Amino acid sequence: MPQATAESSEQSTMNTAKADSQQSAVGQAPTAKTASQLPKEVLIKWLYDMQLIREFENRTMQAYQQAKIGGFCHIYTGQEAVAVGTIGCTNADDPVITAYRDHGHALARGMTPEACMAEMFGKTTGCAKGKGGSMHMFDRPNWLFGGHGIVSAQTPMGAGFAFSEKYQLEVIGIGKKKVTLCYMGDGALDQGCFHEAQNLASLWDLPVIYILENNGYSMGTAINRHTANAENLIDRAKGYGIRAAKIDGLDIMNIYNEFKPIVDDCRENSRPAFIDLKTYRYQGHSMSDPQKYRTKEEVDQYKDKDSIAKLCSDLMTMGHIDEAGWKSMRKEIADIVRGSVDHAENAPTPEPGELYTDVYANPEKNLSPTATYSHGTKNPLM
């Protein structure tokens, strides 16, 4: 992975995000004013990616219940329009970072279902070689920086990627204007570091967009029980001088229409933004959540406004897809996802020696009284 070096920083590119990753086609439509004007292939790809996430998460839950996936596992079902729609407004080399409910972002960003599923199965072909698990999806070729398990820990880092890209452009003279997307749940609103991150981002003109995936619950605590003035969150960001907007997160066309101008503006003018994206998760906080804090009726209410059904219906109205096409797309996706489970089942488990690899980049002797560190196998994504 070439990066800038002390000697050749001018010639090389520090960020070698894959230029042709699958979602780049989605993001490369800056001339379109509204989503409905986007090429058919882009809109169909959105539907494909959202359904891929839906199907992937169904299989994830199944595998979890079969105890093939361990640890904490947070399901993205219901929120698909957010990851696909917002990432669809960016370029493949814009940094992306998120929290632990991260499978959807990984797939939307272009990670293969195999690498994502194998990671949860703890296999060597997983994106982190089985060392990260469900909460830590990293994908360097797609410039995805995790998957972070501590609520809001990703928010200062989001500012940091924006800082880094800006520094490279202004001080080293490499790279280009980029926007960082930093996702967070509504629970992350209440952490101090998010306020520090907003202050730094505004103070230093950092092009980072904080995307609040407002699903109404901080684990099991409803938003009006965990954060003050919950109906008016965007005023907080405005308090830091940050552009802020509230967007309906269940309609991907709407997300594109409202989010894309903000992305373009942040990129061009090097400023942060905060987006309150109202969405809903159909499953519990994690796989072990009995969901005593909400009613089935509430969940059903949102399922009636399902974002995939909405997009599918819109695309049918536009004549971009018909029932047969939708059916064959679902079949193709079901096969791919089943294939990812088969892959994960059959992939090798890490050799015992991998326990002591990837600890130090320069594993000198005497770093530990009991361990000898070394480099192991290359990461399958690199």
- Exactly one of 18, 140, 177, 330 binds another protein (CB under 8 A); that residue is 140
CA 153/CA 98 separation, integer angstroms: 9
Q: Which stretch binds another protein (CB under 8 A): 49-57, 139-147, 247-255, 294-302?
A: 139-147
CA 267/CA 276 separation, integer angstroms: 19
Q: What is the DSSP letter of 374?
A: B
Taking the complex as a whole, the smallest distance from the CB of residue 19 to another protein amounts, in Å, to 17
Largest Cα span, the chain = 67
3-state secondary structure of 211: strand
- The reply to whether 2 sits near another protein by the rule CB under 8 A is yes
* Residue 165 contacts residue 15 (beta carbons within 8 Å): yes
CA 244/CA 294 separation, integer angstroms: 29
Site for another protein in 150-209 (CB under 8 A): 150, 153, 155-161, 163-165, 167-168, 170-172, 192-193, 196-197, 199-200, 203
- The reply to whether 107 sits near another protein by the rule CB under 8 A is no
- Exactly one of 132, 187, 216, 284 binds another protein (CB under 8 A); that residue is 132
- The reply to whether 352 sits near another protein by the rule CB under 8 A is no
- The reply to whether 95 sits near another protein by the rule CB under 8 A is yes
Q: Which stretch binds another protein (CB under 8 A): 35-43, 51-59, 280-288, 357-365?
A: 357-365
Which residues are CB-contacts of 96 (< 8 A; sequence separation ≥ 6)?
87, 90, 105, 109, 142, 143, 144, 145, 180, 181, 183
Q: Which stretch binds another protein (CB under 8 A): 140-148, 213-221, 263-271, 333-341?
A: 140-148
Give the total of residues touching another protein (CB under 8 A): 76
- Exactly one of 66, 288, 317, 362 binds another protein (CB under 8 A); that residue is 362
Angle at alpha carbon of residue 283, lines to 228 and 56, rounded to 5°: 125
Q: Which stretch binds another protein (CB under 8 A): 19-27, 67-75, 127-135, 278-286?
A: 127-135
- Exactly one of 6, 231, 296, 352 binds another protein (CB under 8 A); that residue is 6
* Residue 95 contacts residue 263 (beta carbons within 8 Å): no
Q: By C-beta, is 266 or 381 nearer to another protein?
A: 381
- The reply to whether 14 sits near another protein by the rule CB under 8 A is yes
Q: By C-beta, is 292 or 365 nearer to another protein?
A: 365
Rounding to the nearest 10 degrees, give the CA dihedral for residues 297, 300, 304, 306.
140
Residue from 234, 236, 152 nearest 187 by CA: 152
